[in-house]
Structure 1
Amino acid sequence: MMNVIDIPDKGTKKRIVIVGGGFGGLKLARKLKGDDFQVILLDKNNYHLFQPLLYQVATAGIEPSAISFPFRKIFHKRTNVHIRICEALRVIAEENTLETSIGTLSYDYLVIATGCDTNYFGNTELGLRTLSLKTTSEALYNRNQILESFEKAQNTNDLAMRSALMTFVIVGGGATGIELSGALAEMRKFILPHDYPDLDMTQMRIVLIDAGSRLLAAFSEQSSEEVRTYLDKKGVEIKVNCKVETYKDHLLTLGDGSSISVANVFWVAGVRANSISGLPPEVYGPGNRLRVDPYNSVCGFKNIFALGDTAFMVSPDYPNGHPQVVQPAIQQAKLLVDNLSRLNQNLPMKSFLYHNKGSMATIGRNNAIVEMKRIRFVGFPAWAVWLFIHLMSIVGVKNRLFIFLDWMWSYFTYDPSLRLIIKPAKKGQQVET
């Protein structure tokens, strides 16, 4: 029998347990004000992470602290919100109980907003040998890996190994893939030649691979072609209709029989929902997402809900579920706040209707693509809009200021100053002071 998590008595309030402090979970917790509910927020980390800018952490553009904000600071004035750092393990729906790594917790309403993780499509070996980009730890590891590759390339006399160390393969032609490719191309042009004058940067390869027929499949064909043309001019090698088979001993084997000697392979090819176990098998849909009704209730359960990347909601406009991006999570969270209040008053809930506000992606300095229902624009105006939207989406005024200053410094000087290789000290090692 697991210990019960020590939480203050809820009194006459309904207890809402939110698993996951991503965009959906955080929005829900922030909007659930008043005296009707006791809110318990569970997350593996003690901070909210703005994932869309992780690639800039990985390429030494911004510090990880600038896109992270502590939950306890967000809610330090909210007496009805209680935060516990743990991992949710299993739902026991018949008992209205959630098992976690620190004990069990009862709930009146359970909201699963656990987001998603990298999808290797069943190839566990690729998961062990490639670089992913979903967490702060992974972004910092990738930054170390990128910078260490050039340090090692400079120190070796083995030309084949130097070539592998200076080759970077990005698997996945979605927004993250093209943003990462563009950032590496900018580094190759503006930064690395000054940091490593003894290396020939014309030997640095950036290869972008996608199994589909074009890049940015979620965008229009015109945008896909423009992105491909731009990256091609930046010296990024693009391979579409191409699958990765294996990666071992610095050799990446592709489906067409060719291979690439490479020491740095970034896997951003897909996602898989982090749904909690314990629910009936039929509830888990494609990509491990939880099947929900138009009210975000997990099918078959009136008091369990799922939001964002974790939720699989089928509608006429979205027969394959909503896109696993920020806006569906935020919009679903806003509606669920209203629906939970309506449930508490025995009123019928409102069904969810997704308002697609468009898509955007940046592909380099002064260049981005923005697509809305009737408007599509590219270049500097789109880049300015991308900067503004992302800046305003960051939690905390101080974080916005720091990111703005980092961006402006890099823009005018072509020299971001965060190229540090920082490794965690192991127990028993002497730490330098």
Structure 2
Amino acid sequence: MDEQDILIPDKPKLNRIKERIPRTDLTRVVIIGGGFGGIELVRHLSKQKVQTVLVDKHNYHSFIPLLYQVATAGLSPGDISSPLREFLQDNKNFHFRMAKVKSVDPEQKRVITNAGFLEYDKLVIATGSSTNFFNNEQLKKNAHKLREISDAIELRTKLINNFEEAIQADGDEELEKYMNIVIVGAGPTGVELAGAIGELRKHVLPKDYPELDFSRLKIWLVEGTDRVLPSMSERSGHRAKRYLKKFGVRLLLGKFVESFDNGVVTLSDKRTIQTQCLVWAAGVKPNYIKGLPEGSDVKGRIKVDEFNRVWGVKDIYAIGDVSYQESKKYPKGLPMLAPVAIQQARRLSENLMAQIQGGTERPFAYTDKGTMATIGRNKAVIDAPFGIRLGGFLGWFIWMFIHLF
């Protein structure tokens, strides 16, 4: 056969157009997920003699760390997204299919999607993570999140509509619910969003809405631990706390959200806040895939060895947030961060080619190059290697350089 169906309907009732990919002598590497890890792997494999097939539910890649900028109108959606089909240009061995993956079948070496199944020689699972509401269906239904471009656009629309409603509010009680913004989670996402909104309140919103008194706009940042940016150094956390307070952000540390219903947020100390906008940035969970062998699941992540091979199965690998990889420095698994996914992808591309070409594989070792968060227009905090801690304008300048160049 010169070619075969890449997505063959596994149920007769599926009504779809057949997509065909040439069947060659090249090893077919199927990658599930077009996030940081998946994209980096595609970039490296596109230079090699393999057939690469990328599957994702979207046909674009979005830069998740900058979604808060879209939500606060600092950037447009196009500024932080790029079409996945760009990789098709000048690369006849790369193919993309937009589909939702349901499960994998290691015995048949197939990926089961909503459109049918896809065969592979080597499979890489890079499905990333999604917002973790900790099984609170009420919060999942009523709160905003920031994991996709559509989330950012929805949040931006909500903020704008709230200010429009505030202008027409009948009395202080109604005004309060439109002028309260509650952000849950003081990690990088929550801190950066709070800082960006604080910046808007200071420099932009009074000009756009002169009828509103923005001294009445309250930005609440709720965090379950006792400090801001708990995953970073205490020094960076203290700096971020100071910057946030300058923007008028109200910090509620050591507090948890118990419920959010009918515009009322109830905290663990029974305090209540009236709001029409709650943003949930309190954690993520891995996007695990069904069909893997029993024992490969560690706290919802896929257990892999130092070569990113999935435990208990052949020719399947996992990288990024969805993978669970232990090391001496990280006995509880590597952190769920973009740099981890990118570095894993680079090493895995080398190891896959070593397998195919009969070379020697090398184990993966994560190199921590630092963590950063920006607060407002010209402030940032950075935890760099060797105990270096930077903040203020210098930190912000470095943040801008890394993101723009």
TM-score tier by shorter-chain length is over 0.9
Please state how far the C-alpha of 1:136 moved relative to its aligned partner: 0.6
SS of structure 1 residue aligned to 2:295: helix
Q: Which amino acid aligns with 2:366?
A: Y
Q: Corresponding residue for 1:125? A: 138
What is the SS of the residue equivalent to 2:173? helix
Whole-angstrom CA distance in 1 between matches of 2:130 and 2:22: 34
Q: How does 1:347-358 map to 2 (within 5 A)?
A: 347-358=359-370
Matched, 1:323 2:339: no
The match for 2:323 is 311
CA RMSD of aligned residues (A): 1.4
The answer to whether structure 1 residue 222 and structure 2 residue 222 are counterparts is no
CA distance in 2, matches of 1:15, 1:303: 11
- Measured in 1, the distance between the counterparts of 2:294 and 2:185 equals 30
- Output the TM-score relative to the length of structure 1: 0.88
- Cα distance in 2, alignment partners of residues 66 and 27 from structure 1: 19
- Which residue number in structure 1 is paired with residue 72 of structure 2? 59
Task: Name the structure 2 match of 1:372.
Answer: 384
Q: Which amino acid counterpart does residue 313 of structure 1 have in structure 2?
A: Q
Cα distance in 1 for partners of 2:218, 2:315 equals 52
Equivalent position to 1:26, from 30, 34, 39: 39
Match of 1:341 among 324, 344, 353: 353
Q: CA deviation at 1:347?
A: 3.6
Give the aligned partner of residue 187 of structure 2: 174
User: d(CA) in 2 for partners of 1:74 and 1:385?
Assistant: 29
Residue number among 41, 44, 63 corresponding to 2:54 in the alignment = 41
Counterpart of 2:221 in 1: which secondary structure?
strand
Cα distance change on mapping 1:222 and 1:34 into 2, 3 Å: closer
Larger deviation, residues 107-116 vs 151-160: 151-160
Structure 2 residue aligned with 1:238, among 251, 260, 263?
Answer: 251
TM score, norm. by length of structure 2: 0.94
CA contact (8 A) 2:239 2:381 kept: no
1:114 counterpart (127, 132, 156): 127
What is the CA distance between 1:74 and its match in structure 2? 3.2
Residues 184-193 or 154-163, more deviating: 154-163
1:5/1:96 Cα in 2 relative to 1: closer, same or farther (>3 Å)? farther
Aligned length: 391
Long gaps (5+) in structure 1? 393-433
Alignment of 1:249-260 (within 5 A): 249-260=262-273
- Output the CA distance in 2 between the equivalents of 1:203 and 1:281: 54
Task: Measure, in 1, the Cα distance between the counterparts of 2:146 and 2:20.
Answer: 34
Letter in 1 for 2:372: M
Task: State the alpha-carbon separation in 1 of the partners of residues 213 and 47 from structure 2.
Answer: 62
Partner of 1:415: none
Is residue 191 of structure 1 aligned with residue 204 of structure 2? yes
Partner of 1:89: 102
CA distances 1:94-122 after superposition (whole Å, capped 9, x unpaired) = 11011111111110011111111000111
Where does structure 2 lack aligned partners over 5 or more consecutive residues? 1-9
Question: Post-superposition shift, 1:280?
Answer: 2.7
Q: Is the 8 A contact 2:28 2:51 kept in 1?
A: yes
Q: Secondary structure at the match of 1:117?
A: strand
Q: 1:165 to 1:340 in 2, by over 3 A?
A: same
Aligned to 1:263: 276
Q: Is the 8 A contact 1:208 1:239 kept in 2?
A: yes
Task: Give me the whole-angstrom Cα distance separating, in 2, the residues matched to 1:158 and 1:300.
Answer: 63
Counterpart code for 1:146: L
1:5 is displaced (CA, Å) by 6.1
Aligned counterparts, 1:377-396, within 5 A: 377-392=390-405
Is contact 1:368-1:386 (8 Å) kept? yes
User: Partner of 1:163: helix, strand, or coil?
Assistant: helix
Match for residue 71 of structure 1 among 79, 84, 107? 84
